[in-house]
Structures are given as C-alpha cells and as structure tokens.
Structure 1
Amino acid sequence: MIENTISSRLASLVWETALRAGVCRAQLAGGLGVDAAVLGDDLVRVPTESAWRMWELLYAAVGHRSGLRVAATATRGRLTVWDYLFTSGATLAESLRTVTGMRAVVADPRGGAEVIVSGGLLTVRDLSAVEPGPILGMVDEFTLSVMLQRAREATGQHLVPIRVSFRHPAPREHRHLKDVFGTGRIEFDAPYAEMTFLDVAELPTGSDPELGRIHRRHAELLLVEAKLPPHQGDRVRMALHEAVRGGEYRLELVAQRLSISPRTLQRRLREQGTSWRDEVDAIRHEQAAELLRETDLPIRSIATRLGYTDPRALQRAFQRQTGRSPGEFRRAGEDPSAERVTGATIQRL
C-alpha cells in the first residue's frame, strides 16, 4: 500500500465532475500534478494532496453539493473491484466488513473504517483523517452516499438508514441530503461520518462464494502492485523524447501534451536549473548518439530527422557535447554522452 495516495479511479471521478462543472482543464491539470492519462490505470495511485486540490477547485465551482455530484458519477464498476466487494460475503454485514477492510483499494491507506453490529443495529463508520473545512463535508457526503448506493445494489432493497452523521457543520439548507439518504435524521458536527441501519445485517447479498474470493484476491493484488505515476521530470523527458522523435518539438505542443501551459512548463524547467533549449539539445544529442550507434543512416539523414538545419549543425552540436564528430563517434562504437549530457538534463521536476 502507498500511503498519502488514492486510486486513480477515485481521482478520475473528481476530475470528470469538475470538468462538467466548468473547471478549466489547465487548472485541473495543474492541481493534479500528473498526466491525466494515468487516471485510466487501475494500478496507479495519485497523491492525496493532488486529489485535494481538485476537490478544492470543484468546491469553488459548485459549492457544498460537490460531494454528491461526484457520487452521482460513481456508477458500479467505476471504483474497480472495490465496488464488487459489496457482494463478496453471504450477508450484508460480512460484505461490508470486507469493503471497509479493503478501503485502501480506493482511498488513502492512512484512513480507516469499521462496521459495528449491536443487536439489530448495523453502523458503518468512516475513520479517515480529513482536515476540517469545506472539503471535509464534500468527502464525507461522497463516501457515505456511494456506500449506501452499493449496499442497496448488493441487497436489491432500497435501504434507508435510521440515522446519518457528518463531521462538518450543518449547511444552511440540507434538503438534498434528505433526498439522497431517505431520512430526516441527519446530524452534523459529529465525531464520525457514519450511517446506522436497523435489521439489515443478515440480509443476503446473493453472492457467489468463489467469485467473492476472486474479488478479494484481486483487491489484495491491486494494493500489492500499486505504483505512483511518473514523476514530473520523467513525464517532461518522455514527452520531449516523443516530440523530438516525431520531428515536432515546439514548446506549445509539448506543454499541451502535458496538459499544462507553456509558461508553467518553462517555470518548472527553470526551477530545476535548466531550460527548454538545454533539454531539447540534450535529447536531440541522445537520439543522435542512438541513431549513430544502432543504425547505418547517413549523417545527413540523422540531421534531418532530428531537425538540424544541415549536417554541419549536427556536427557542431555533437562536437560540443562529446568532443568528437558524429563520424568519429560512429567509428569508435562508443557512447561517451552519458556523463557529458546528464548535467544538462532534468533531474526532477
């Protein structure tokens, strides 16, 4: 498990809801801090801080109903195998214990949840540590409403809690919460975000024991194999390599590929003590060295492919980097570029 992260699938729900609410894609990309393309990778974990910034942008656009808007997009399957854990046990109580035990599949592992069965009462309690503020209410409302919807789907019954509690202060008007949860017994400023039900613990979920085992195993593997998205510096270099290889490496195009503005890209490069021109030169040199070493392409063709005005421009650049001409480098069959180039390249963004 990777602490201080959430699943990319959960982050994608916030991202999509914010876009529909009119939040600028560039703002979201800046808040996310990683390539939005990773939001479709089940193994990728997004920094919780990044998701928090997206929640803030959504709140600024929509207000206190943002959490329920995100929940409305969380149809079954959007949160990967976690959604199917609600039918992993023979009864609702058994399934919910698995769900809360595997909460880290979608949420930050630092948090927690528990299921309490006492007499005829069943309480689902969220124990995650969320800082006080407007976002607290959004996250709690999202969490409980999604769990209620999955429990209804698992049992095939329109379950209605006898009590719902939230940790945030009461909003001026909360009719929307009564509509979603089906009860007027809603408390605020509570120590926990939780829902309590009456006589539902033994409700069957129609589960297949073998399928439930497979879902639990898959959830465990997701946690074991989870990974962080590429670092900003890695992303910039990958984008530049692709751009140079394709012969289109204008600043605007690379920035667009990274979902950031050209000015932001230049600023991040400056923060690392390098520049756009330095990085382009370094990557063109790396690719020139690779083509000289691994192909029989004429030097003129290599110069054209990498965007040099003529072979002499490639020769001058290569001489600066290695102290050798391209022809000498090819004849030697060596690659002395690594030591010389590293100092100019991005270390970490």
Structure 2
Amino acid sequence: MIDYTVSSHMTRVVRDAALRAGVAHSELAHLPGLEPETLADPLLRVPTASLVRIWELIARNSPTGAGIRAAETAAQGRLHVWDYLFTIAGTFAEGCRDAARYLPTVTDPGVEMTVIEEDRRLTITYGIALYSPSAVTAIDEFAMALMLKRARDARGPAVVPVHVALAHEAPKNHRHLIEAFGTRSIDFGARANSMTFLDLDTEPPRLPGPDDELGVILRRYADGLLENSRPASGWHGRFRSEVAHALGEELSLELVAQRMAMSPRTLQRRLSDLETTWRDEIESVRHERAGTLLRETDLPVQSIAGRLGYTDARALRRAFHRWTGQTPDAYRRAILPRT
C-alpha cells in the first residue's frame, strides 16, 4: 500500500527547494524517507508527513512565493514518467487526463486531480488533503504553478490560463502570482485549487504515430510503478530490524551501529533527533517482537524469552506485565480463537 506516501522524485524536488530557501541540512536529515538510498530508488515512497514538514520549513524561511519558485525548478523529467504522460499526448486534454489518472505516481493517492471539459474551456482541479496551515499556501501555489509549467511544456511558453482559483486565503499582496500565472483573474478561498484554459486544442488531433505507441509504453510503465512501489522503511525501520535480529545475540549499540555502517555516536544522535533513546528502542522492539511470537507461534514462553535476549522466562513475564498489564500466558489465551 502506498497511501500516505509520495514519490522519491517529488520529494527530491521539494527537498532541493528547501535547501535553496536556506533550510539547514540538519533540519532535514532526521526526517523519515530522506536517506540518499531512498531518494535514488523510484520504487521507494516517502511518508507524506515528511514532505509536509519540508514545506513547513520552506514556508518558515521563505513565506512569500516559495511554491512558485519550487515549481520553476521542476524541469521536464524531474517527476519521472508522470511528466511525459502529461506532455506527449495528441491533445492537451488527453495529456491532462493521463496526468490525473497517474497522479499517484508522484504524490499521495489521497490527492485528487480532475479534468472538466466544457465548450472550449478545460479546467484542471487539484484538491489537497488537510495539511498544516503554515504549509498549505506554498503547496497550493506549487501545485498550480507546476500544472501551468507542464501545460507550457506541452503547448508552448505562451500558454496563459483564463482563470486560477486557490484554496488558501488571499495574501496581502499577490503580485507574484499575477506574474507567475500571467493573469489577474485569480480567486482565493476556493473549495479546490483549479486552473482554466481556453482553446488549447484548436488544432485537430494529429494522426496516430510513434508518440501513441510511446504513450502505451509509458502507461504500462506507470501501472507497474504503482503496483510495485512500496513505502521506504528508512534508517529507523532498518535500525529496528537490526535490533530485532540481534536480540538473541550479544546485543549492543556498537554492534547495531556497525551493521548500519555508522558510528555509535551518530546512531545515538539520530535516535535523539527522533526524541527516543537506545534503551527505549530496545524496550519497544522487545514488546513488538514478544507480541508477534505469542500470537503467531506456539513457542513456550521460555523459548520466547531467549529469542528476546532475556536470561529467563521470569524476566520476560515482568517486562510483559509492565508493557500490557498481562502475563504472556494470559495474553496468548486472550487472543486464541475460542472453540
């Protein structure tokens, strides 16, 4: 499931915008999903919460026009297959429909894009989830400016919308938006972000050709991307996995740090950034692992205690009672199906 996640491509665009806005590397380093190996993998997805936090930091450092500037740097191709689906179609309307259908390849599946054709007008609507108030303005403006940029990539730099609606409240001055969108017809406080174009498909659709076959290939690729993408575990997930694997060994912070290719000091600092400690993490992993073994196996409590690194079953029983208010045996009885 990729709900509540966004693509690594989108994350790179917004992260780079944050760095240009003066956000410090240290403020980004602890966010889940921003590890270099995650951002380099098109199949790994970053928590939406991390992206929203980056937007909050951008808005704090650059309160006016941050979303517009971020969109300006999102050159064709930076958002991977979605960019090309938007721009290679035979008509602008077809490209918009493909962009709407495959929007989850770049952003949270909870975000919706719709395409409405009426007379000679085409309106793109882009609704966002409930983000923090400090981030919503930048996100609204980024989304609409990105749509306009792709429209210009597809139909030329002279494309100008006849109307723009933004969901956030009107700023004190929106001259930067007039300049970015090329129109004074901008409304605020709308129910959804939207942009309307007029007569972008005045020419008849071109005859079928190589681009149509390319479109088929790109759509198949996008389908595969959605099917095979997965949330990134991030360094914290890998850390907990390493702890779980080492529970029955001579568990130590030095051992886990070595397996994660970092120094013990760096590991402790990263845990501190997440407002947790080595001791708290060991407790949490043991609690989680104990519950799993009690639910999914018929191992005796003594064996489970050994797998969790306890000297005997009594130590596990004391810890489990502290975590749950129950003994391991009572917990197991409570979850067994009644016959």
- Return the TM-score normalized by structure 1: 0.71
SS across alignment from 2:145: helix
SS across alignment from 1:191: coil
Equivalent residue, structure 1, for 2:185: 185
Q: 1:48 to 1:160 in 2, by over 3 A?
A: same
Question: Is the Cα contact below 8 Å between 2:239 and 2:256 reproduced in 1?
Answer: no
Q: Which amino acid aligns with 1:269?
A: W
Residue 234 (str. 1) matches residue 238 (str. 2): yes
Question: Is the Cα contact below 8 Å between 2:121 and 2:197 reproduced in 1?
Answer: yes
Question: Is the Cα contact below 8 Å between 2:271 and 2:277 reproduced in 1?
Answer: no
Q: 1:33 to 1:46 in 2, by over 3 A?
A: closer
Equivalent residue, structure 2, for 1:43: 43
Q: Return the alpha-carbon distance in structure 2 between the equivalents of residues 122 and 106 of structure 1.
A: 22
Please report how far the alpha carbon of residue 9 of structure 1 lies from its aligned counterpart in structure 2 after TM superposition. 1.1
Question: What pairs with 1:1-349 in structure 2 (closer than 5 Å)?
Answer: 2-32=2-32, 35-131=35-131, 133-202=133-202, 208-231=211-234, 232-235=236-239, 244=258, 250-254=263-267, 261=270, 263-264=272-273, 267-273=276-282, 340=306, 342-343=308-309
Please report how far the alpha carbon of residue 179 of structure 1 lies from its aligned counterpart in structure 2 after TM superposition. 1.2
Cα shift readout 1:173-212 (whole Å, capped 9, x = no counterpart):
1111111111111110111101101111455689710111
Q: 1:241 to 1:85 in 2, by over 3 A?
A: farther
Q: Which amino acid aligns with 1:160?
A: V
Please report how far the alpha carbon of residue 35 of structure 1 lies from its aligned counterpart in structure 2 after TM superposition. 2.4
Please report how far the alpha carbon of residue 77 of structure 1 lies from its aligned counterpart in structure 2 after TM superposition. 0.9
- Return the TM-score normalized by structure 2: 0.73
Number of residue pairs matched by the alignment: 279
Q: Return the alpha-carbon distance in structure 2 between the equivalents of residues 245 and 121 of structure 1.
A: 58
Please report how far the alpha carbon of residue 254 of structure 1 lies from its aligned counterpart in structure 2 after TM superposition. 4.3
SS across alignment from 2:31: helix
Note the aligned Cα RMSD (angstroms): 3.0
Question: Is the Cα contact below 8 Å between 1:6 and 1:107 reproduced in 2?
Answer: yes
Please report how far the alpha carbon of residue 91 of structure 1 lies from its aligned counterpart in structure 2 after TM superposition. 0.5
Cα shift readout 1:276-334 (whole Å, capped 9, x = no counterpart):
xxxxxxxxxxxxxxxxxxxxxxxxxxxxxxxxxxxxxxxxxxxxxxxxxxxxxxxxxxx
For structure 2, list consecutive stretches of 5 or more residues without a partner in the other structure: 244-253, 285-302, 311-339
Q: Which amino acid aligns with 1:228?
A: P
Please report how far the alpha carbon of residue 151 of structure 1 lies from its aligned counterpart in structure 2 after TM superposition. 1.4
Of stretches 220-229 and 22-31 in structure 1, the one that deviates more from structure 2 is 22-31
Q: Return the alpha-carbon distance in structure 2 between the equivalents of residues 123 and 37 of structure 1.
A: 38
Q: Return the alpha-carbon distance in structure 1 between the equivalents of residues 93 and 178 of structure 2.
A: 24
Q: Which amino acid aligns with 1:184?
A: R
Please report how far the alpha carbon of residue 233 of structure 1 lies from its aligned counterpart in structure 2 after TM superposition. 3.6
Q: Return the alpha-carbon distance in structure 2 between the equivalents of residues 73 and 157 of structure 1.
A: 15
Q: 1:217 to 1:30 in 2, by over 3 A?
A: same
Q: 1:175 to 1:265 in 2, by over 3 A?
A: closer
Q: Return the alpha-carbon distance in structure 1 between the equivalents of residues 12 and 172 of structure 2.
A: 29
Q: Which amino acid aligns with 2:141?
A: E
Q: Percent of aligned positions with the same letter in both sequences? A: 38
Question: Is the Cα contact below 8 Å between 1:93 and 1:202 reproduced in 2?
Answer: no
Cα shift readout 1:118-146 (whole Å, capped 9, x = no counterpart):
00111011133234623222111111111
Question: Is the Cα contact below 8 Å between 1:113 and 1:128 reproduced in 2?
Answer: no
For structure 1, list consecutive stretches of 5 or more residues without a partner in the other structure: 276-336, 345-349
Question: Is the Cα contact below 8 Å between 2:33 and 2:232 reproduced in 1?
Answer: no
Of stretches 190-199 and 224-233 in structure 1, the one that deviates more from structure 2 is 224-233
